[in-house]
A = this chain, B = another copy of it.
Amino acid sequence: MTEQMTSGIELMFTGMGIVFLFLIMLVIAINIMSALVQRYFPDIPASKTVPGITADIDKSVVAAITAAVHQYRKKHN
């Protein structure tokens, strides 16, 4: 086996080792962090859309608005 190949194999072991080490550390850190945050800084689950409002608009209205926005964009850009 060539020297290059040897260093390649070594690289593979080191590399995969580091990748696993890194992500295992991350798993541990996440677990600790999540526990701490949920215990000491709990927050209301983030919900980006306001479902109440969105649900009220039926699809045809959304379609109409989408088209209007399209028109608006075309005119204004």
Contact = CB atoms under 8 A, between A and B. Distances in A.
Interface of A: 49-50, 53-54, 56-57, 61-72
Contacts of A70: 49
Listed residue (A53, A57, A63, A68) with the most chain B CB atoms within 10 angstroms of its CB: A68
A72 B66 contact: yes
B67 A53 contact: yes
Nearest to A64: B57
Contacts of A63: 53
The 5 lowest CB-CB distance pairs between A and B, nearest first, are A65-B68, A53-B67, A57-B64, A54-B67, A66-B72
Contacts of A54: 67, 71
